[in-house]
Amino acid sequence: MSNTSNYRWKIVVLLFFATTINYLDRQVIGLLKPTLEKEFNWSESDYSNIIMAFTAAYASGFLFFGGIIDRIGTKLGYTISVVWWSLAAVLHAAVSSTFGLASMRMLLGLGESGNFPAAIKTVAEWFPKKERALATGIFNSGANIGAVVAPIMVPWILGLYGWREAFLITGGIGFIWLIFWKLYYETPTKHAKVSQEELAYINSDTDENIASNEEPVKWLQLFKIRQTWAFVFGKMLTDPIWWFFLYWLPSYFAETFQLDLKKPSLELIVVYTATTLGSIGGGYLSGYFIKKGWTVFRARKTAMFGFALAVVPVFLAQYCTNIWQAVALIALAMAAHQAWSANIFTTASDMFPRKAISSVVGIGSMAGSVGGILFPILVGKLLDTYKTAGDITIGYNIIFMICSMAYLLAWLAMHLFAPKMEKVKM
């Protein structure tokens, strides 16, 4: 493509930073866990209940944001989401009880649920199918950058000021992003800096009208479609694994390998840097297959099967004798998850028309969050049981076994419901 504006890649930068901030705000509590455990006298089950409060609200938020973004558009929908979650993140600094903290986590979860429905719909509006997985991989890598920044930034703020200031400072960053979103974002057909050539390229492999004014589909209608269930099971079986690593990995390293979480952690930085590479590389791979002439469904399915296989070795973490062996296995699994994530989000835009994408992503992400509510119950019970018995690592080993098989099971479920990922006609 030549003589075009290529403005769509600047839009991806905006989505990348929004996702970075989204994950920075939710990652803070995992790094403050040892401090807050002493402050509020938590057990592992208490902590898992707080995580479930966030996750339950996050799941419920998709009921609102998935449909509302299809109705009011990405610009306003994203704005509401970021204002909401940034306020909630800042208000963590004001709590004085476990109940108060759980309440703020719920508000944070409600607001943060708007990020992915808005971002995936934005990608579908701005990119042809052959570039969507790469664009999704790039913005989705913000989740990993947020998790890389957090182990550096949060302990530093904690050491200089305290845990309240850690919430206050990180929560305020979202308001800075809103300035750039307001200044630089508009839909392609309305954007003054998008050339006609780029607009034609965006629509080059779709028969949809990007300026369609059709009414969004109803959620109940979507539940009658097999492709919806393919996306639902793909998310429900794999999202909880990412949440486990996000919230328990710091304490796993601390309890198993005596990692000091009051200092910036190179081990956590390495893990989340690897996930960044996985997100972008995973998005690139299926796009590469498509450009080589593969059909869209074959490219996505083949890439995702490879990523599912790459998670399997994480069960070997139980045999690690030093932290860097565990870092290597977990980094591979988490990189594979993010590669999987970049592609599974894109399957929604592959199978559904633009007017339904945010709703489908909302439904699937809600299912993933429901899994994220249930899995921490098991995690908390296992870790408390084996901590009481004197060896918490046994609990972690059981969890790693579950993680190792989840993606293959999810891939099989997606294949059963949508063997060729046929386009849904509405």
**What's the average model confidence in pLDDT over 262-286?**
84
pLDDT at position 83: 96
Residue 3 pLDDT class (50, 70, 90 cuts): very low
SS3 content of the chain, % helix, strand, coil (to 5): 80, 0, 20
pTM of the model: 0.74
398-425 pLDDT tens trace: 999 999 999 999 999 999 999 888 888 8
> Cα–Cα distance between 379 and 401 in angstroms, integer?
12
pLDDT at position 211: 45
pLDDT at position 210: 45
- Which of 226, 278, 242, 237 minimizes the C-alpha distance to 412? 237
97-149 pLDDT tens trace: 888 888 999 999 999 999 988 998 899 889 988 888 889 889 988 877 877 78
Residue 215 pLDDT class (50, 70, 90 cuts): low
| Cα 125 to Cα 187, 201, 291, 351, distances in angstroms | 7, 12, 20, 14
Taking 90 as the threshold, does the pLDDT of residue 316 lie above it?
Answer: yes
Contacts of 319 (CB under 8 A, 6+ apart): none
Taking 70 as the threshold, does the pLDDT of residue 4 lie above it?
Answer: no
- Token readout for 295 is 């059909």
Taking 70 as the threshold, does the pLDDT of residue 209 lie above it?
Answer: no
Whether 365 contacts 113, CB under 8 Å: yes
DSSP string, 165-233: HHHHHHHHHHHHHHHHHHHH---GGG-TT--HHHHHHHTTT--S-TT--PPPPPHHHHTT-HHHHHHHH
Domains of the chain listed by start with CATH number: 8-206+216-417 (1.20.1250.20)
Taking 60 as the threshold, does the pLDDT of residue 179 lie above it?
Answer: yes
347-383 pLDDT tens trace: 988 898 878 887 888 888 888 888 878 887 888 888 8
Average pLDDT of the chain is 86
Whether 231 contacts 360, CB under 8 Å: yes
Indicate the residue type of 404.
S
**What's the average model confidence in pLDDT over 305-330?**
93
Residue recorded with tokens 């799941």: 59
- Report the residue count for the chain: 426
Q: Which of 73-77, 194-198, 260-264, 302-306 has the lowest mean pLDDT?
A: 260-264
Residue 391 pLDDT class (50, 70, 90 cuts): confident
> Cα–Cα distance between 144 and 249 in angstroms, integer?
13
Q: Which of 60-64, 73-77, 95-99, 262-266 has the lowest mean pLDDT?
A: 262-266
Quick one: which H or E segment has residue 98? Answer: helix 98-112
Whether 275 contacts 291, CB under 8 Å: no
380 or 303, which is more confident: 303
DSSP string, 31-74: HHHHHHHHHHT--HHHHHHHHHHHHHHHHHHHHHHHHHHHHH-H
pLDDT at position 162: 84
Quick one: which H or E segment has residue 116? Answer: helix 115-126
223-266 pLDDT tens trace: 889 999 999 999 999 999 988 887 788 888 888 888 887 777 78
